[in-house]
Structure 1
Amino acid sequence: MARIQILELPEGAGDERPSFVLVVDEYVTQRYIIGPDQPEPVDQFEGVAQKIGARAVLVFEETIDIPANEVTLTEAADGNVVRIRVEPDLTGFHEQVMDAVAKAQADARAAVQ
């Protein structure tokens, strides 16, 4: 199942651009065509960056670990380093997305008829 991560970006002086990038990894490409008038596959991530206010959306088939998403704690007494990584539980997320896609396709078909 695909994972979603946020990569925070540094802001420059007077920078009005969004300060993060959405990173999707472990993504399995799915090709589908909405209808006969659209023979080219649909880009599932088209326009997502603008909709969520991100600077970009990066999609990878491989696993991408963003070191910035780890919190490093150092205990001064013994010098041991502890790293904590928080990952969301996305159980059922794929089904929710596929249901939304199916609804959008049905709405598009209904609008054409």
Structure 2
Amino acid sequence: MARLQILELPEGAGDDRPPFVLVVDQVPVDEPGFEALRRDLNEGDVAARIGARAVLVFEETIDIPANEVPVDPDGYPLKIRIEGDFQQFHEQVREEVAKAQAEVADALRQGLR
């Protein structure tokens, strides 16, 4: 059975969304579905319909390293959680709030004179 993979390409300046290439591998050429795929590819509308830059079709298995999913010892996809260090951000927010409060207090004092 054929596999579908996405190969993401580097973004260009005018790209609205990340460009990609559709890679179809393990395609048995002796099946009726291959003829339909070849007909659609020859008419040139598959890539345009899905928004891909190109569609590549192979009989062999093509491994795209970027699509490899790391797995844990049990064989399940490994999930990595990244937490930001917000201490500096919190300090900046506090300073800005204190500055804004001081400006409002000064404005009120000047308005009451």
TM-score (norm: length of structure 2): 0.48
TM-score (norm: length of structure 1): 0.48
Which structure is higher in helix share? 2
Which structure is higher in strand share? 1
